[in-house]
Structure 1
Amino acid sequence: MVRLLCHLYDIMLAMVMACFMVLGYCLYVFLFPFYRWPFFFRLLYSLALAGLAALLACGVFITHELKKRAIQKPYSESFVTVKKGMGLNQIVAKLDKQDIIQSPLQFKLVAVLKGAPSKLKAGRYKLNNHLSIEDILDAMVRGSVYRNHLVVPEGYMAWQIASMLKRTMEIDSAAFMALVCDSAFARSCGVPAGSLEGYLFPDTYLFDWDASAEQIIKIMLRRFEEKFREQYTETPITRKYSRHRIVTMASIVEAEAAVDGERELIAGVFYNRLARRIPLGADPTVRFAVKKYTEPLTVRDLAMVSPYNTRIYRGLPPGPICNPGARALYAAMHPLETTMLYFVAKRDGSNEHFFSETNDGHVQNKERAKQNKRLQKNRGVQGPY
């Protein structure tokens, strides 16, 4: 349709040019006795007519070139937000500013001819500059708004989710975190804890374009409830521990386990340590306390006075340290029965762990892990700290 309108415009200009030439010829031949004029004036008049014809021809040529360039523009996408109450002129101005349409006048003309101005729906649309006017109008009349696709990985912390939302949906991350850390809001959502950390279920979501931080949190909490019920069965663990403590354990298992087959075993080790009143010794809890997520932990970090420091305090920390997925929740409710009390990362690139029943065995495993790390370094492989 856009190309058709451009061609019609070309034809219109050509017809106007032809009319002017015919009119000039008629004036030249029939209305004025030019043969009586001096040669100089006849020459000037002829040149004026020729100049007018040349200007009109240039207009046709320039229009054609502009049309070609518009059609050949590199492909680009853009989000266009149409707010409630916006009129056609405001919408067209946005589309033109974001370089989605080639001609505002043509867009308005087509919109009026299709009776679309009163049918355009508010929303956030994902458009590109190769769409026809009809395609853009049809999308806005149908209300084919863009839904934000968000994939939250297992083990993400609330602040990481907030950063994702700010980047992908322009959600205020500070407002999001304020709700996450609001104990009154948590209780109103059925979470008897000081924070919603651990209950923002990691999954794939499609959020409406205008979803608020509160709406997003409630959607994630509903998903958590669904998944927790799916994993729940009556076990000695679920009878002994509250849901909050199970979720806390699941978050530690999620942070420690990088291999699916080890989750239940790691959970079994931690429950054994709890039963014997041995500190869990889980470094991810220390990282959560000192907010140091990638750098090596120092001696000072490991000695930090915090209820989340399971290196020096027995029992579970006050709450989850990340948001566990379904497999970690299952492991926390169905730990493997084992005699193991210790584990350490192999550091051989496999993401697996050495397990042992005694501290002596643990010391030996740590030496093996150090050797593996040296071998990896010699091979040029940079492993985790």
Structure 2
Amino acid sequence: MKRNSTNPKRGKSTSRGSRPKSGAGRPKGKRGAKSRRRWPFVLLVLLAVPLVGFLIWAHSGGEASTSVRFEVDPYEDRPQLIQRLHHAGLVQSPTLFGWYLTFAGEIEPGAHLLGPGLSAAELSRRLTRSRGRNSQKLSVPEGLNLYQIAERAEAAQICAAQDFVSAARKQTLLDELGIERSSSVEGYLFPATYEFAADTRPEDVIRRLVRETRKRLRALGDSELVKRRG
């Protein structure tokens, strides 16, 4: 009779041994958490790679081999403008340039001096006439006439020759500069070497040259006055 009796304690220990240990699935949970933490980093890399490539494309380019006068119509929308730039050979990828131009400032209507081979960033800066445009030098030797100076300004990619000549004869600019009894600014453009941003308004170029002439004349007049007093 004693042999057939069961030990309740031994039965309990058997049932306890069959239960899974607490925390048996934790390693798998840790791996899942690590994987979830990696996803933001992977997503950031996936977004950064095309963005970096786009910025490299936008700033790749050099100096324009030739100058192209391009007129911006104040009433055309940006898609029309981009298509005209593309047809003129100034933009190779209209879609990409359109995306880049979305972040640019206001495009300035009127004549611009552009050229093939410019980067999207430089082309955008010229169209908006914003800061950071390429710096160009204008050398004006003594004895040049108005047309010769205009040709040098265009060769330096500062402004178109025809726009320079037109601005030099503009009566409103002559009045602003106080030039009387003259049909142009010829004779008021001081011979020197100047530095301008590419695609500068011709009126601003003329203002600078006339201002330099008057500054030199004042300095010469002051020195003559000192000599007389001495």
Scaled to the shorter chain, the TM-score interval is 0.3 to 0.5
Per the normalisation by structure 1, the TM-score is: 0.30
Per the normalisation by structure 2, the TM-score is: 0.44
Greater relative contact order (Cα < 8 A, sep 6+): 2
